[in-house]
Amino acid sequence: MAERTDLRQRIAAQRAEREARALLRTRRTVLRRDGMRCEVQDGNGTPRWLTNFCGNDYLGLAQQFAVAAALQDASSRMGTGAAASHLVCGHHAAHEALEREVAEWLEVPAALLFGNGYLANLAVVQSLLGDNDVCVQDRLNHASLVDAARLSGCRLRRYPHADAEGALRQLRASPGGAAMLATDGVFSMDGDVAPLRELSLAARMQKALLYVDDAHGIGVLGPDGRGSVAEAGLDLRAAPLRLATLGKALGGYGAMVVGDAELVRHLAETARPYIYTTALPPAQAAATLAAVKLARREAWRREKLAALVARFRADAQRHGLELMPSDTPIQPVLCGGNATALAMSASLERDGFWVAAIRPPTVPEGRARLRVTLSAAHTDADVDALVDALAVARNRVGAAADSHVA
């Protein structure tokens, strides 16, 4: 009989390996927040104020006065928790109001509220696909979509990034059973937008359901911030189901699966990550309702964000920094090696900026990066100072690497 593996030994060995490859991950504690400035504890526990350039609060709604006031008001009336899952007795009027508002905003017949985007993705794939089915996915899709396919038990086939022809080939190679083509709308670590029109054609030719995870597109792209699907001009038939997260541009927490009424009802009745979990606190739903209204109405947030993105790209290119082809608020600066990304991040921190290093397995091997993100709550001066600090970081880290080689 094979000998039992010692779990603690294995964990220690795995950690040592991650350490050798500069892949250890640690948390930083945020003590206070004031707009894009955060007071953060550094490695020694000393508090420092940094300008945050790695959050997903693209529209600057996470601390907006009316949103926080809606949370306070609703929690004083309804308390802090929902008390049960939606199908038992946890479905409150605030949830209902948020679902109605989002459905109207995104011009879809139905919307269903989930605890978060990770759960929502698990729910969509698990409730629609099973053993005999196939889920075809972009290589760079978010981890939650990959995990969702694993949970459902379906075959998972991946195609080269943003390659609609590749998606079609993978669908053709998996005849029989039901098929889903799942893609991020905006790729979370690269910032580019999926070729949704071409993908929808591939899906239609192969009778596959197109599912767009628009975690980073909602609120930011398209007319009135309706996201990447609206920007691509796809109707409900072309894109029957999509994900909108509430924790990014909308500044709160939770997620919505929106689209075709029959599909959404099927999720509500059968998806295990919907059924077997407590509903979102109703006060959080009330806060997000206030955020959605602002996101719809205040176009200046998107306009300012777009101007900051253009400013960042022009400044960075003038300094000879290598950017990726992205027009969204996700503007990664590629570093390559894990240690280089960590050193660049540390250099930025010395100059007062917080940009976390993103390393494998979140991104492919050799593609570590600083994932710079912009927000409508940044100023022109913030962006200019960041670009200066990035140029300094590149020179410092470049020089250090040279002296190491010598």
Ligand X SMILES: *Cc1c(COP(=O)(O)O)cnc(C)c1O
CB 146, CB 156: distance < 8 Å: yes
CA distances to 213, 310, 358, 370 from 142, rounded to whole Å, are: 9, 26, 14, 17
- Asked if 326 is part of the footprint of ligand X (rule: CB under 6 A), the reply reads no
Question: Between 240 and 254, whose beta carbon lies closer to ligand X?
Answer: 254
> Which amino acid is it at 331?
Q
**Segment interacting with ligand X (CB under 6 A) among 175-183, 210-218, 224-232, 342-350:** 210-218
Smallest gap from Cβ 215 to ligand X, in A, equals: 3
List of E strands, 145-208: 155-159, 179-184
Of 215 and 241, which CB lies nearer to ligand X in the complex structure? 215
Helix (H) or strand (E) holding 88, with range, is none
Tokens of 125: 């794939």
Q: Enumerate residues 6+ apart whose C-beta is below 8 A from 317.
A: 323
Residues 226-265 binding ligand X (CB under 6 A) are 245, 247, 255
**Which of 142, 302, 304, 359: binder of ligand X (CB under 6 A)?**
142
User: Hunting for tokens 């979102």 — which residue is that?
Assistant: 280
Part of the chain binding ligand X (CB under 6 A), chosen from 74-82, 98-106, 113-121, 348-356: 113-121
8 A C-beta contact, residue 191 and residue 333: no
Contact residue for ligand X among 126, 137, 183, 188 (CB under 6 A)? 188
Question: SS3 of 86, please?
Answer: helix
Residue 371 makes contact with ligand X by CB under 6 A: no
Q: Among residues 60, 90, 117, 225, which is the contact residue for ligand X, using CB under 6 A?
A: 117
Distance CA 61, CA 383 (A): 19
- Does 347 appear as a known binding residue? no
For residue 97, what are the contacts with CB-CB under 8 A and spacing of at least 6? 285, 286, 289
Segment interacting with ligand X, rule: CB under 6 A, options 1-9, 58-66, 115-123, 268-276: 115-123
Among 57, 101, 138, 184, binds ligand X (CB under 6 A): 184
Q: Which residues are annotated as a binding site for pyridoxal 5'-phosphate?
A: 117-118, 188, 216, 245
Binding site for ligand X (CB under 6 A): 116-118, 121, 142, 144, 184, 188, 213, 215-216, 245, 247, 255
